[in-house]
Amino acid sequence: MKIVIAPDSFKESLSAPDVAAAIARGWQQVFPEAQCLLRPMADGGEGTVDALLAAVGGERRECQVRGPMGQPVQAHWGLLDDGTAVIEMAAASGLHWVPRELRDARVASSYGTGELILQALDAGATRIILGLGGSATNDAGAGLLQALGLRLLDEQGRELAPGGAALAALDQLDLTGLDPRLLSVQVDVAADVDNPLCGPRGASAVFGPQKGATPAHVEQLDQALGRFARIVAATLGEDHASFPGVGAAGGLGFAARAFLKATFRPGIELVAELSGLATAVQGADLVITGEGRMDAQTLHGKTPMGVARVAQQANVPVIALAGSLGDDYQALYAAGIEAAFSLAPGPLSLEQAMARAAGELQARAVDIARLWRIARCD
C-alpha cells in the first residue's frame, strides 16, 4: 500500500512537515506495513521554505536583515540541494514584524527581501523561488531594488527615503550599481493574485488598508507607485504596471518582473514541481492533503486543490483533513477531493483546537484508515 501525504501547514499551529508526520503516524497504526510518502506542501507563502527542505533536502539559513520599518530582524531562507534558493518575502518584510499600532504602508520597505536575494547570490544559487504574500510593504519593490544596487534619485540627485510614498519624488533611476549576477539567475515568483500595480485593483487600493493605509494614504501611494512605474517604463523601454500579479506583496511583483525578469506561477504549482509530487503519486492508492481551514475559497489556488489536480492526473483519489470546514466546503467534491473531514471531535475553542492539532490529525488518520480497511475488504 502506497499513501502520499501532502498537506499544507496549519497556520499558527503546525508546520506542513509536522502535519504530514502526524497523519503518517495515524495511518501506520492501522497499516504498519504501508509505504507513506511525505510531501509537505505550501503555496509560496509562510512555510514554503520548510516544506521544500523537508520534501527535497537542503539547508535552512538564517541571517539578520533590515525589517520593514528599518529595524533589524532575524530572517531565514532555504538553499535546496540542486542550487535553488527559496525565499519567503514575509520572512524579511512581513506584516508580522510590525505591531499593529506601528503599521504605516507609506514608509515600510522591502529592503530586507533584497538582502535575502543577495545572500542567495553569494551562496551561488542558480535559481530563486520568491514567494510573495504577508508583506507589510507597499513600495513596489523599491526597497528590494535598492538593496540590489539600484539608486532611486530625486531632482537634486539625492537618494529617496524608504517606502512607497517617497516614490512621489522620484526623478531618475541609476542602474549602474545593480548587481550583475541577476542577469544569470532564474527567478520564479510564486504569487496567487492577478492584481495590477495601480488603480482600483492595484496594490495600494486592495492590500494597503490591511497594512495601515487610510483612504488618503491609499490615494497617495497609488499615485507614487504610478510615478515609479512611468519612470521605470521610460528607463527600461517597457511598461510592466498592468501585468497580472505585479501588484502582489505591495507591488513587489512589479520590481521582480521589471528588473529580475521573473516568471509568475501559482505557488502550489512551483512547490509541487520542486517536491516531485507528480512522481510520488504515480501508483499510489490514496493521497491525503489538508490545511487549517477549508471552504469554497479553497478552490482558488489553495494547496489542497493544487494537490488534487496532480492526483487527478494519476487517477488517485484524494481525502482532505482540515482544522475546520467552512461554508460550501462540499464544492471541493466536484473539483477532485473525494471527502473532507474536520479534526474537532466536539466543541473546542480555537486555542484548544490549535494545541491539540497533532493528536487530532493522528486520530482522524486512524479513523480514515480503519474505514479504508473496511472498504478494501469489500
Confidence (pLDDT) at 297:
74
For the chain, what percent of residues have pLDDT higher than 70? 97
Identify residue 289 by its one-letter amino acid code. Answer: T
Confidence (pLDDT) at 350:
63
- Give every CB contact of residue 71 below 8 A, 6+ residues apart in sequence: 97
Buried b (16+ CB within 10 A) or exposed e, 258-285: bbbebebbbbbbbbbebbebeebbeebe
Confidence (pLDDT) at 63:
95
pLDDT-based confidence at residue 378 (cuts at 50, 70, 90): low
Closest CA to 321 of 31, 44, 16: 16
Look at 325 and 355; give whichever has higher pLDDT.
325
pLDDT-based confidence at residue 12 (cuts at 50, 70, 90): confident
Give the helix/strand (H/E) hosting 153.
strand 151-153
Cβ–Cβ under 8 Å, residues 358 and 22: yes
The tens digit of pLDDT for each residue in 206-220 reads 999 999 999 999 999
Is the pLDDT score of 325 beyond 60?
yes
Confidence (pLDDT) at 346:
58
Sort strands 151-153 and 172-174 into parallel, antiparallel or unpaired. antiparallel
pLDDT-based confidence at residue 221 (cuts at 50, 70, 90): very high
Is the pLDDT score of 241 beyond 70?
yes
CB atoms within 10 A of CB 328: 12
Confidence (pLDDT) at 335:
87
Identify residue 346 by its one-letter amino acid code. Answer: G
Average pLDDT in the 306-330 region?
Answer: 92
Buried b (16+ CB within 10 A) or exposed e, 57-80: ebeebebebbbbbeeebebbbbbb
Positive or negative torsion for Cα 275, 276, 277, 281? negative
Is the pLDDT score of 354 beyond 90?
no
Confidence (pLDDT) at 328:
85
CA distance 237 to 362: 56
| 283-to-26, 31, 37, 165, 371 alpha-carbon distances in Å | 21, 17, 12, 54, 21
Average pLDDT in the 240-257 region?
Answer: 95
User: What stretches of the chain show up as alpha helix (H) in DSSP?
Assistant: 16-30, 48-56, 89-93, 111-122, 142-147, 203-207, 215-236, 248-260, 267-275, 277-281, 303-313, 350-355, 357-377
The tens digit of pLDDT for each residue in 47-63 reads 899 989 988 899 999 99
Average pLDDT over all residues of the chain: 93
Domain with CATH 3.90.1510.10 in the chain: 48-267
Is the pLDDT score of 262 beyond 60?
yes
CA distance 285 to 290: 17
Confidence (pLDDT) at 347:
60
Confidence (pLDDT) at 252:
97
pTM attached to this predicted model: 0.87
Confidence (pLDDT) at 170:
98
| 301-to-43, 133, 290 alpha-carbon distances in Å | 8, 13, 13
pLDDT-based confidence at residue 302 (cuts at 50, 70, 90): confident
pLDDT-based confidence at residue 115 (cuts at 50, 70, 90): very high
pLDDT-based confidence at residue 352 (cuts at 50, 70, 90): low
CATH topology of domain 48-267: Glycerate kinase, domain 2 (3.90.1510)
Is the pLDDT score of 363 beyond 90?
yes
Identify residue 328 by its one-letter amino acid code. Answer: D
User: Residue 312 burial by CB count (10 A; 0-12/13-18/19+): exposed, middle or buried?
Assistant: middle
Is the pLDDT score of 290 beyond 70?
yes
Domain with CATH 3.40.50.10350 in the chain: 2-39+276-377
**To which residue does cell 501588484 refer?**
247
Task: Provide CATH code, domain 2-39+276-377.
Answer: 3.40.50.10350
Cβ–Cβ under 8 Å, residues 58 and 81: yes
Cβ–Cβ under 8 Å, residues 97 and 68: yes
Report the range of poorest mean pLDDT among 25-39, 109-123, 124-138, 290-304. 290-304
